[in-house]
Amino acid sequence: MWEMLDTHGLVGIYAASLLIPFSLVYFIERISDWWQG
């Protein structure tokens, strides 16, 4: 049980570490586009 929980937690952390920077870059690009008009 704990091994499954650890694996699932690691996968979640790995996915978050990939998704968060990409979404942040996308968000910044959208704002800079809107800012420049």
Under DSSP, the state recorded for 37 is -
Q: Residue 5: is its pLDDT beyond 70?
A: no
Show me where the domains of the chain are located: 1-37
Measure the CA–CA gap between 22 and 29, rounded to whole angstroms: 11
Tokens of 16: 């978050």
Whether this prediction's pTM lies above 0.85 is answered by no
pLDDT at 33: 96
> What stretches of 1-37 show up as alpha helix (H) in DSSP?
2-36
Q: Residue 28: is its pLDDT beyond 90?
A: yes
